[in-house]
A and B are shown apart, each in its own frame.
Chain A
Amino acid sequence: MILLRGVSKTFDGKRKVTALERIDLSIAKGEMASIVGPSGSGKSTMLNLIGGLDRPTRGEVELDGQPLSKLSDDELTRVRRDKIGFIFQFFNLLPTLSCLENVSLPLHLRGWPRKKVEERARELLDLVKLSARIDHLPDELSGGERQRVAIARALSVYPPILLADEPTGNLDTQTGVEILNLIHDLHDRLGATVLIVTHDKTVAESCPRTIQLRDGRVFADTRREEVAR
């Protein structure tokens, strides 16, 4: 499903910073993996490369066997919109839009008919148990609720890949657990490939596979049969 071959990413500046160095990695369809590592180890960079938000300096990222390096910006966007859902640490909801509108956003962008968009958005909000908050603005929600909206938005097209960057990083422990459970639940129900960047041990250990990064390289790649839920 997700394949990284010799992927390197360096940031040019006054001092060259190598965020990732020759990473080879394969994540199978339906897998749920966490990426951990100290800050600056390249976790977020890797997630961004997989999500097509950024391009590697060297190497190739393939999604479903499709190499991303040859794609134009708009083609990349199309891949993103069809295959990937994002969950951010700071939710990144648009503050001016209601929950329903925020969730509808990707669907509208795909040009879906209005009626279908609304149907799906309501369905998704139902899924994340926010049916009661449909017309509220993000400011009126708690952190956990906001993240649930963000998750609903990420799932709006039932993407085969869900990328979460510190989804619980901005939440209290209790809410974090709820969100994590939601993600697991969705993974089980929808069968999507899920990648979670985190430095929360609980979160990491809840995933069957944990990829540890250190100084831009894969330091460890562990799979566990039993996960703590």
Chain B
Amino acid sequence: MSKLLLFLLAVAPAFAQDPRQIILEVQKRQRSESQRYEGTLEVISQGNQVATKRWLYQRIGSFGNSKAILRFTAPAEVKGVGLLIVNHPDRASDQWMWRPAIGRDQRIALQDRSTRFFGTDFSFEDLEERDVDQYDYKLLADEGATWKIESRPRKSSQYSYSYFWIKKDNYTFVRIEAYSKKGLVRTIDYKDYEQIKGIWTARVTEVYDVARKSRTILKYEKLDYNLPMKDDDFTLQALRREL
């Protein structure tokens, strides 16, 4: 799956009992050198209105050493707007936005990352990938087919802690609940798993914003891993190039 988002972490297990090892094992199994997909995003508001957007996503590298460009393709009003994410293993990612209509890029400040990602129920923070070592984990429960793990960020984050549910048989995420000091902020459910090039990949993720009572469903289409990509295509210059 993808990793556009979430994964405020990544992981893989050695011993089932060690939560850090579980996360490390998840990461190991998800690991790919590059990824590409066309995303369809549906935001379903409280009143059941649906807004649809589409984008193209490409990533090179993995986890804390990855770079990704996301570029909107639909609707027409937003076509061409791009986002460059440069992840760092030891700190928050750098993010830039490109706005073709005014011809300029703009750094997205750290402080702005808790805000919603362009009207979806994701936040900018949800888009970055962070290293396992930036979190403390605790195994809360063994629920038969899944583990329930608590993750607490060591660095600043909008979240105080999150709960992960991970399937034991294939080390894939089932659900994340993210909490702030005030309580549950959003939930993410991973659905329609499918193996692509040997990687178990959720084809649908669904985010629910508790406060707004709004859902965002992201469908991954034409998803593929380990395609040949160039580092040069993941720079600010590349971001400024039109599609």
A–B direct contact (CB < 8 Å): no
